[in-house]
Amino acid sequence: MVLNLFDMKRFLSVIFAISACFGTASAEAVLSLDSCRNMAIRNNKSLKIAEANAKAASYNRKSAFANYFPTIDVSGGYLYSSKEVSLLNDGQKSLLPNLGSQMSTPIAGYLKQLAAVDPALAAKLAPLANGLGDAMNGIGSSLVDALRTDTRNMWGGMVSLTQPIFTGGKIIAYNRITKYAEEIAEKQKDASVKDVVFGVDEAYWQVVSLVQKQQLAEEYLKLLDTLQYNVDALIEEGVATKADGLTVAVKQNEAEITLTKVTDGVALSRMLLAQMCGMPIHTPFRLADEENLSLSGTPGKVEAIDMEDVFANREEIQSLEMAAKIYDNKRRVELSAMLPNIALVGSYSFSNPNVLNGFDKSVGGLFNVGVVLRIPIFHTADLFKVKASKAQQEIARLTMDDAKEKVELQVNQAAFKLDEAYRKLKMTAKNMEKAEENLQNANTGFAEGVLTASDVMEAQTAWLQAKSELLDAKIDARLCDIYLSKALGRMSY
């Protein structure tokens, strides 16, 4: 299978990380600044949290957008009642089954009167009257049974659809709020990446600085060893005294103590950098700039600064600007509670017993479609909520203005420190040249017997101080350039 360029880079980065984690002292990995940054970005927990926050904000925006579409709900229920709903009262229930019996008395009186006039006809109608009474009793009983609802066991359900038509601008405002919240989450993630890169850069150059100072301490100790050897030879010849030898020995002990401290500092700073890069803290590695500390890539001077570009590049300012927009839309949300709301509703409901068919023991249902209008008349609390959200919007605007002032101060301070660092670098470079020349002259004078061991040690101390100051100036210039890049929002990684 052929890998594309992106997959190949990812594959090589994984192989590199594995080799960095499991490498031995005999095969130390050489890490560049970019590789340290990449490993830190991949393994930093705070960045993963920021990514999760951005993902959650994206889902919230999609959730707010879904409010434009209709909602569909299904509901159902079951109800048991100890008594059924009755359409007839108790008097009607007792009257209807005896309807024929109640009619028999007036009919009997009529037949008696008829018998006095026409006995034959009355005799013929008597059986029919009795049958009619029995039929009316049956009809009344059937009617009572037919009007029973049998609602002791009821169940039913409904499927409803609601489509908002006008909500006072609430849905639009919520979509804008979630959109700005998502952008803020993305900006915070970018800011977190820059913070991680900034921390890695500091730790990286701290390791480089301490390694350079360790090499300087070793070089200084070699100079003292050479001087000690020469002084011992002069003591044997009777040219120098034991006091001279002891003075050099004291300097050697001080140099060894300094070397031990610097070595411990290197080990601790390497542990810190390894932890930031997501490697085991005891992983052996070397840095690409340990042997040659150069200032390539730094501008060497402070360029003109446009604060509007700075504000456009700083995630904090952009986040505050979007926060002000969020509060503006929150005010609109609160205001929407005071405006009419219109929604289109539709439903299908069904029940058993079937209320559409004389409470028959079957399932029956019907459709409903309508429009719901809600008009708030008097809501004092909502009015105060609108005023409170307007005050929050003003707070957000003032916070943004205050942040801009602080950013401007931060940028100017970083530019001033960088300019000062460059001037200091030039001066320390000149001092280093003079210190090297002075040390060379002192060694020559000591070899010729013109100068003493104390003079040589004094020249060595001056050389050590000058080189240490030059090293500090280089690191300071590098860090000040990083500080300014971060303040300008232009960190490249």
pLDDT digits (tens, 9 = 90+) for 397-429: 999 999 999 999 999 999 999 999 999 999 999
272: Cβ contacts below 8 Å, ≥ 6 apart: 203, 206
Arithmetic mean of pLDDT, 187-203 = 92
**CB atoms < 10 A from the CB of 356, how many?**
13
What is the pLDDT, as a whole number, of residue 84? 77
Arithmetic mean of pLDDT, 72-85 = 86
Q: What is the pLDDT of residues 230-286, one digit of tens each?
A: 888 888 887 777 888 888 899 899 999 999 999 999 999 999 999 999 999 999 999
What are the CA-CA distances from residue 469 to residues 24, 207, 393 (Å)?
34, 17, 51
Main-chain phi, psi angles of 343, to 5 degrees:
-145, 145
Arithmetic mean of pLDDT, 23-45 = 80
Please enumerate, as own/partner, the contacts of 254-259 that have beta carbons within 8 Å and a separation of 24 or more: 255/217, 255/220, 255/221, 255/224, 256/221, 258/217, 259/214, 259/217, 259/218, 259/221
What is the pLDDT, as a whole number, of residue 284? 92
Reported confidence tier of residue 4, pLDDT bands at 50, 70, 90: very low
- Judged by average pLDDT, the poorest of 99-113, 117-131, 252-266 is 99-113
Reported as half-sphere exposure (CB side, CA atoms, 13 A), residue 428 has a value of 20
Contact 236, 480 (CB under 8 A): no
12, pLDDT greater than 70: no
Counting every residue written for the chain, the total comes to: 493
What is the pLDDT, as a whole number, of residue 29? 85
Arithmetic mean of pLDDT, 187-208 = 93
Q: Kindly report the pTM of this predicted structure.
A: 0.73
What is the pLDDT, as a whole number, of residue 111? 54
Token pair of 389 as six digits = 């959200």
